[in-house]
């Protein structure tokens, strides 16, 4: 299954037609039409048809970029959400409050039934779970061992986890993440790698702090994340740049690849006086892959 471009994933409330219309021009790699937290309870059912109409209308222009965050699988809303939004043009589902990888499999079975009804080729609609929003999820991250059908990436969240465990805040007094959330961040990286998919970092809440966002994205990419959730259109360009390799990185990666191509029997090589080995080659190929 092909890898999606997932540097930036912009949330758009599915009941807000003005924001939906504005999102069409966004450079975000993915638009997430939200039926969950950003939509008031009384508007959730109506938001389904607004989302479905937007997907149908924009399918040609926004091909492979439209996801929907449905309501959690263990709520009464989830099946109605899926029945409404699985229409031609839907690229994927963002699954909130996942308890384990079994929820992804369960959602996959639902999509197996809904795709033919909508005239969509089987297996087209992909899934990205928010993998750390419940206490059970944190104890079940080992279930992401090995490939999972339809999985396109793995992301994590801190706000709902705070509520689940009764924390007053998910930050320490100095502003840094508390240990549980640093752990959730790390588990997301491991779960994604174990499943062979990209890890997508959680949102940066202060959308007016461009410098803070850029710094957070640089640190996140160093740790292994391949993209980030955006909650405001102004965050997208910063995120795209941060998760794209620089010209200097690409040039260095090409040198490593070319050096091993010239000496395929070598286990280690020296480039500019620095030893490089096969893990460096793997990373270089990944860097070049990010550039398309």
At residue 189 the predicted structure's pLDDT band, cuts being 50, 70 and 90, is very high
3-state secondary structure the chain: CCCCCCCEEEEEECCCHHHHHHHCCCCCCEEEEECCCCCCHHHHHHHHHHHHHHHHHHCCCCCCCEEEECCCCCCCCHHHHHHHHCCCCCCEEEECCCCCHHHHHHHHHHHHHHHHHHCCCCCCCEEEEECCCCHHHHHCHHHHCCCCCCECCEECCCHHHHHHHCCCCCECCCCCECHHHHHHHHHHHHHHHHHCCCEEECCCCCCCCHHHHHHHHHHHHHHCCCEEEECCHHHHHHHHHHCCCCHHHHHHHHHHHHHHHHCCCCCEEEECCEEEEHHHHHHHHHHHHHCC
Q: Are residues 253 and 223 in the same domain?
A: no
Q: Are residues 267 and 204 in the same domain?
A: no
Give yes or no for a contact between 65 and 95, defined as CB atoms under 8 angstroms apart: no
- On average, the pLDDT of the chain sits at 95
Q: Are residues 253 and 124 in the same domain?
A: no
Q: Are residues 278 and 220 in the same domain?
A: no
pLDDT tens, 21-80?
A: 999 999 999 999 999 999 999 999 999 999 999 999 999 888 789 999 999 999 999 999
The CATH number for 161's domain is: 3.20.20.60
Structural domain count, the chain: 2
Would you say residue 29 lies in a domain? yes
Would you say residue 1 lies in a domain? no
Q: Are residues 232 and 266 in the same domain?
A: no
Residue 93's DSSP bridge partners are: 68, 127
Would you say residue 257 lies in a domain? yes
- pLDDT of the residue at 288: 85
Would you say residue 179 lies in a domain? yes
Please, which residues have CB within 8 angstroms of residue 62's CB and are 6 or more apart in sequence? Answer: 24, 31, 89
Residue 275's DSSP bridge partners are: 270
* pLDDT(205) > 80: yes
Judged by phi (left if over 0) then psi (alpha if -120 to 50, else beta), residue 82 lies in: alpha
Q: Are residues 51 and 85 in the same domain?
A: yes
Parent domain of 269? 248-290
Last residue of one domain, picked from the residues 244, 265, 282: 244
Q: Are residues 166 and 267 in the same domain?
A: no
Q: Are residues 166 and 266 in the same domain?
A: no
Residue 13's DSSP bridge partners are: 34
Q: Are residues 272 and 260 in the same domain?
A: yes
Give yes or no for a contact between 125 and 87, defined as CB atoms under 8 angstroms apart: no
Q: Are residues 211 and 71 in the same domain?
A: yes
Would you say residue 2 lies in a domain? no
- pLDDT of the residue at 249: 84
Would you say residue 269 lies in a domain? yes
pLDDT tens, 212-242?
A: 999 999 999 999 999 999 999 999 999 999 9
* pLDDT(1) > 60: no
pLDDT tens, 149-186?
A: 999 999 999 999 999 999 999 999 999 999 999 999 99
Q: Are residues 14 and 128 in the same domain?
A: yes
Q: Are residues 177 and 270 in the same domain?
A: no
Would you say residue 73 lies in a domain? yes
Would you say residue 182 lies in a domain? yes
- pLDDT of the residue at 2: 54
């Amino acid at each position: 299954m092909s890898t999606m471009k997932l540097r930036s994933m912009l949330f758009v409330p599915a009941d807000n037609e003005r924001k939906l219309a504005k999102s069409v021009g966004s450079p975000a790699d993915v638009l997430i039409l939200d039926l969950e937290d950003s939509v008031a309870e009384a508007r959730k059912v109506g938001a389904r048809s607004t989302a479905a109409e937007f997907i149908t209308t924009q399918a040609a222009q926004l091909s492979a970029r439209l996801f929907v965050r449905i309501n959690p699988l263990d709520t009464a809303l989830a099946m109605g959400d899926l029945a409404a939004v699985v229409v031609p043009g839907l690229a994927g589902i963002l699954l909130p409050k996942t308890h384990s990888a079994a929820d992804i499999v369960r959602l996959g079975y639902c999509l197996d039934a809904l795709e033919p009804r909508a005239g969509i080729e089987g297996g087209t609609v992909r899934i990205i779970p928010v993998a750390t929003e419940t206490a059970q999820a944190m104890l079940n991250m080992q279930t992401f061992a090995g490939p999972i059908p339809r999985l396109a990436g793995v992301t994590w969240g801190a706000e709902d986890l705070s509520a689940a465990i009764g924390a007053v805040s998910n930050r320490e007094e100095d502003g840094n993440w508390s240990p549980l959330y640093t752990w959730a961040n790390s588990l997301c990286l491991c779960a994604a790698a174990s499943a062979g998919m990209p890890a997508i970092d959680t949102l940066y809440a202060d959308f007016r702090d461009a410098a803070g966002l850029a710094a957070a994205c640089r640190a996140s990419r160093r740790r292994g994340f391949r993209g980030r959730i955006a909650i405001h259109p102004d965050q997208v360009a910063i995120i795209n740049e941060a998760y794209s390799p620089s010209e200097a990185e690409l040039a260095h990666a090409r040198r490593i690849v070319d050096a091993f191509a010239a000496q395929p029997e070598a286990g280690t090589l020296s480039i500019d006086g620095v030893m490089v080995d096969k893990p460096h080659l793997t990373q270089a190929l990944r860097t070049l892959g990010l550039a398309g």
